[in-house]
Amino acid sequence: MATIRRSGNGWQALIRKKEYVGPKAKIFRSKAQAQLWANAVEDSLKRPEQLDQPPPQSLKAAIDLFIEGPLQEHRSGHNEQYPLRAMANSWIGGVLLSELSIRHFALWHDERLLQVKSNTIMRKLRILRVLLDWAKNEQGCLLQSKPARELKVRGNNDARIPHLSKKQKQDLLKQLAQAKNPNHLRLTQLALATGMRRSEPLSMKWNVLI
């Protein structure tokens, strides 16, 4: 703990920690200023808890950590959690990051292609690329390559109708106006006015709007 004591017309803050290499003592006009400086110095010497935690070893461990951390800040993070958890609980989740290769992702791709379209797999690969870059650059995971970036997936042409006609919009809003829950109409009006995807208005929070 730092020592705060009178020194002439001011207050002296004395740092007693051996690992601190800066000035051991400083004099301030007020006791509060001396205490603030001492607290700031001592806080800077604290070792973040994250540095004491070993990096995740398996893909599942990396996915779990990513969901609890960076994914919370993603605009569509809530929608990405389910497919990521499903992947973590499948066989590929048990693969060690140090052994993860394009062959694992190619096999995973072939399995998923029997259940979903290639465009869906492409969307999942985008978030996986972000996840693995984060694991390597920020968590210090040992990745021999970038398998999610090396895997090439060709999407199919399943483009949807780009917009509703004016009459379709009117009919839609008319039907929603009769719904018991008024929020259905409000959210739809917001989506039509802004071009938001379905997941975006549903995941909005007040602190984002204010």
| pLDDT tens digits for range 82-103 | 888 888 999 999 989 888 888 8
For 96-144, the pLDDT digits (tens) are 988 888 888 888 888 888 888 888 888 888 888 888 888 888 888 888 7
H-helix or E-strand containing 66? helix 59-68
CB atoms within 10 A of CB 60: 20
Q: Write down the mean pLDDT value for the chain.
A: 81
Look at residue 116 in the predicted model and tell me its pLDDT. Answer: 81
> Contact at 8 Å (CB) between 189 and 173?
yes
Amino acid 206: pLDDT:
73
DSSP structure class, residue 96: B
DSSP symbols for 6-54: EETTEEEEE---TT--S-SEEEESSHHHHHHHHHHHHHHTSPPGGGGSP
The closest of 161, 143, 162, 82 to 116, measured between CA atoms, is 82
139: nearest Cα among 70, 45, 47, 77: 70
Task: Report the side by side order of strands in the sheet with 25-28.
Answer: 3-7, 10-14, 25-28
CB atoms within 10 A of CB 61: 20
User: Which pLDDT score is estimated for 91?
Assistant: 92
What is the spatial distance between Cα 185 and Cα 165, in angstroms, rounded to a whole number? Answer: 18
Alpha-carbon span 23 to 29, nearest angstrom:
17
The pLDDT, as a whole number, for residue 115 is: 84
Domain boundaries, the chain: 3-46, 59-150, 166-209
195: left (phi over 0), alpha (psi -120 to 50) or beta: left
CA distance 159 to 126: 19
pLDDT at 33: 87
Mean pLDDT in runs of 10 for the chain (210 residues)? Answer: 84 80 82 86 67 80 88 77 88 90 87 83 85 85 80 61 78 90 87 80 72
